[in-house]
Amino acid sequence: MGQEKLYGYNGKIIRINLSKEKLTFEEVPRKWLDKYLGGRGLAARYYYEEISPYTSPLSPENKLIIMTGPLTGTSVWGSSKAHIVTKSPLTNIYTVSNAGGHFGAYIKKAGYDGIIIEGRASKPSYISIIDDEVKISNAEDLWGLKINEAHKVLLDKLGDNNGTAACIGPAGEKLSRIASVLVDFPGSRRGGSFGRGGIGAVMGSKNLKGILVSGSKEVEVAEPDKLSEYLRSNISLLRETTGYHTKYGTAQYVDSLYELGAFPLMNFTKTRVEEHLIAKLSSKVFREEFVVRDVACYRCPIACGKYARPSSEYQKDLRSKPEYETIWSFGPQCGVFDYNYIIAANNFADDYGLDGISTGYVIGFSMELYEKGILDRGKTNGLELRFGNEEALIELTIQIGERRGFGEKLADGAVRAAQSIGHNTEYYAMHVKGMELTAYEPRAFYGMGLAYATSSRGACHNIGGWTIRDELLKPKIDRYAVKGKGLLVKTIQDVRGYIDSLGLCTIPRRSLNLTDTPSPEVLKFVTGVEPNEDLNTIGERVYNLERMILNREGVRRRDDMLPKRLMIEPIPDGPAKGHVLSPEIFNAMLDEYYAVRKWSVDGVVSEDIKTALNLP
Ligand code: SF4
């Protein structure tokens, strides 16, 4: 970049040490912005510098590194994202999570690009950032409040000013390793979450209930007229590429993934149920019978969030905003095919501040153990955990949030639950590096298995690579092919690396020409500077930096592995019947992946690629 005045950035961050009650305002090293853009990349660069491989996730030495990107808070659609990077208490390694909503935009409007929170407060506290006024305040009266209650108390402190907050609920306070941080008013007209990896527990370990942010500045853009014209001329492309998101949200994928035999049911034991059951989960039913309002992140015309309420008398006052993944986790993963209960369970997960994916996953996992006779009422505090027991789903979600009853056993995720239950039950825990799998059956499209295995944060379809479009929806490679999957996954991961570092949501990226062969026009209009290298190269640098961190924390090939079950048990039914990710298939894909990444056969970043990408 190389010019003095920064556009798209504020150029500074706040460092808040809760132990010392000390605030520092720091300039962001300019060369880091050039090399990592912002958001996920910039946060990883700080992590590389500041978090030792020996740091314990719930100790004061761990940090919450929150960063926005150059597009965050601008008029570019989808420019809502902030990222948190920290050491995960779920996986005990580096993790990264992003949230939309309004949190990132208000950090920018307050005049900062990011916040680093370190230490541990001596008593429950909250941070308020209102333009230049940054304070740490007592939150003893907030401790114990559910998420929406805590948000209300914090936002009331802003009076007439606009702003937002990121809060933990009781689950984060009780250090549940699947606790999340929720932004805005969760489940409401607004809202998003830093969901995965137990970031809520890191915040809880710091005695930090919430972060309140308000700002009055506009993010300065270098060429506002050209940016407006660019957005105007691309609006029809936006409508064309995201129309289904506006209508159905991510729920649209329930129909197509089920049809293709790639929608795992009941802890990955099947992909088929009676027609009348799956029909109840169609996106059309969701839209017509349950959605009451469309929800948009900061200045986003797509409004893919779908605010829903039960249509039956059951829990009719509850509201939540389930996504494709949480429809799956609280639904078919638990043998539940009724939106009334899915919306209700999702509502309770939000109330307590839980990651909806891991929470629903671990309930379905325990249901399989119950069906197998490994668990019984005596071991579940009286709960009959049969697949499809909707009341048990609701009760157990609340118990996990409160860390009581059988929920105490599940509140730290599937791996720790399996270790506590014993009887070799880890075989049934579908995870990679300690993070639970999501709503995609990798035996039905092999690239997804590679994406789960090599994701920078454990089993993840976002960071690891959303291969669904290229393998299933608009296939450009056979879903069962082995050759070519290494390159496919690397390409998608690198694209996601630069998108996340821009502070952009991935959904509208095609309408901004931010594809596999990106045009950086939109970034140039915002920053006024042509990036001096291809955006994919920056994405590749971000991914390699994350892998260097993971290598430093001990991650090797043995950790880039899928659950054993997926490698020996074929899918029993449906269009992908008989397919299995055998060790031969999986290792061939992994070898190719390491080769295209120029990593060693043990999955270590080579000196050559460090030099080529100018990495530390
Ligand atoms: S597309 Fe959806 S998730 Fe992305 S910024 Fe817009 S409303 Fe938020």
**pLDDT of 71-102, one tens digit each?**
999 999 999 999 999 999 999 999 999 999 99
Cα–ligand 1 centroid distance for 298 (angstroms): 8
Residue 354 phi/psi, 5-degree rounding, is -115, 150
Ligand 1 atom showing the smallest separation from residue 295 Cα = 7
Ligand 1 atom showing the smallest separation from residue 300 Cα = 6
Substitution candidate for ligand 1 out of 505, 509, 514 with most atoms within 8 A of CB: 505
- 233 near 394, Cβ under 8 Å? no
Substitution candidate for ligand 1 out of 71, 194, 231, 302 with most atoms within 8 A of CB: 302
Cα–ligand 1 centroid distance for 47 (angstroms): 27
**pLDDT of 489-548, one tens digit each?**
999 999 999 999 999 999 999 999 999 999 999 999 999 999 989 999 999 999 999 999
Substitution candidate for ligand 1 out of 304, 324, 500 with most atoms within 8 A of CB: 304
Cα–ligand 1 centroid distance for 156 (angstroms): 26
Instruction: Collapse the DSSP code of 83 into the 3-class scheme (helix H, G, I; strand E, B; otherwise coil) and give the result.
Output: strand
Cα–ligand 1 centroid distance for 317 (angstroms): 26
Number of neighbouring beta carbons within 10 Å of residue 247: 17
pLDDT score at 161: 85
Q: Is the pLDDT of residue 3 over 80?
A: no
Q: What's the CA gap between 243 and 252, in Å, rounded?
A: 11
Ligand 1 atom showing the smallest separation from residue 249 Cα = 2
Q: Is the pLDDT of residue 304 over 90?
A: yes
Substitution candidate for ligand 1 out of 79, 97, 190, 507 with most atoms within 8 A of CB: 507
Substitution candidate for ligand 1 out of 164, 245, 294 with most atoms within 8 A of CB: 245
Ligand 1, atom 8: nearest CA belongs to which residue?
297
Cα–ligand 1 centroid distance for 81 (angstroms): 9
Name residue 96's beta-bridge partners.
85
Residue 371 phi/psi, 5-degree rounding, is -60, -30
Mean pLDDT of all residues in 427-451: 98
**pLDDT of 9-32, one tens digit each?**
999 999 999 999 999 999 999 999
Q: Is the pLDDT of residue 573 over 50?
A: yes
Number of neighbouring beta carbons within 10 Å of residue 237: 14
Ligand 1 atom showing the smallest separation from residue 506 Cα = 4
Going by C-alpha positions, the residue among 317, 60, 104 that lies closest to residue 193 is 104
What ranges in 131-280 are assigned the alpha helix state H? 147-156, 170-173, 199-205, 224-233, 235-248, 252-259, 275-279
Q: What's the CA gap between 257 and 262, in Å, rounded?
A: 5
* Strand order across the beta sheet in which 82-87 lies: 22-27, 12-17, 114-118, 64-68, 82-87, 94-99
Cα–ligand 1 centroid distance for 507 (angstroms): 7
Mean pLDDT of all residues in 30-37: 96
pLDDT score at 2: 45
Going by C-alpha positions, the residue among 584, 546, 334 that lies closest to residue 446 is 584
Residue 1: pLDDT band (50, 70, 90) is very low
Cα–ligand 1 centroid distance for 281 (angstroms): 22
Cα–ligand 1 centroid distance for 244 (angstroms): 12
Cα 83 to chain centroid, rounded: 9
Q: What's the CA gap between 600 and 412, in Å, rounded?
A: 33
Going by C-alpha positions, the residue among 288, 239, 267 that lies closest to residue 335 is 267
Mean pLDDT of all residues in 345-374: 97
Ligand 1 atom showing the smallest separation from residue 508 Cα = 1
Cα 296 to chain centroid, rounded: 17
Q: Is the pLDDT of residue 189 over 60?
A: no
Q: Is the pLDDT of residue 5 over 90?
A: no
Mean pLDDT of all residues in 328-340: 98
Encoded tokens for 188: 């409401």
Q: Which amino acid is located at 222 in the chain?
A: A
Q: What's the CA gap between 546 and 540, in Å, rounded?
A: 10
Mean pLDDT of the chain: 96
Ligand 1, atom 5: nearest CA belongs to which residue?
78
**pLDDT of 234-293, one tens digit each?**
999 999 999 999 999 999 999 999 999 999 999 999 999 999 999 999 999 999 999 999
Substitution candidate for ligand 1 out of 297, 323, 466 with most atoms within 8 A of CB: 297
Cα–ligand 1 centroid distance for 239 (angstroms): 13
Going by C-alpha positions, the residue among 543, 558, 559 that lies closest to residue 605 is 543
**Residue 117, Cβ density class (10 Å: 0-12 exposed, 13-18 middle, ≥19 buried):** buried
Which protein residues are within 6 Å of ligand 1, measured from CB? 78, 80, 100, 245, 296-297, 300, 302-305, 505, 507-508
- 305 near 109, Cβ under 8 Å? no
Encoded tokens for 485: 């999957």
Ligand 1, atom 2: nearest CA belongs to which residue?
304
Mean pLDDT of all residues in 128-133: 96
DSSP sequence for 569-593: SPP-SSTTTT----HHHHHHHHHHH
Which whole-number Å values give the CA distances from 392 to 115, 177, 325, 338, 342, in the listed order?
40, 21, 20, 14, 12
Cα–ligand 1 centroid distance for 238 (angstroms): 12
Q: Is the pLDDT of residue 70 over 50?
A: yes
Number of neighbouring beta carbons within 10 Å of residue 508: 23
Residue 126 phi/psi, 5-degree rounding, is -135, 155
Which whole-number Å values give the CA distances from 354 to 22, 95, 413, 444, in the listed order?
30, 16, 11, 29
Cα–ligand 1 centroid distance for 124 (angstroms): 32
Cα–ligand 1 centroid distance for 596 (angstroms): 32
Residue 203 phi/psi, 5-degree rounding, is -65, -40
pTM recorded for the entire structure: 0.97
Q: What's the CA gap between 290 and 283, in Å, rounded?
A: 10
Instruction: Collapse the DSSP code of 105 into the 3-class scheme (helix H, G, I; strand E, B; otherwise coil) and give the result.
Output: helix
Ligand 1 atom showing the smallest separation from residue 100 Cα = 8
Mean pLDDT of all residues in 366-391: 98
Residue 187: pLDDT band (50, 70, 90) is low
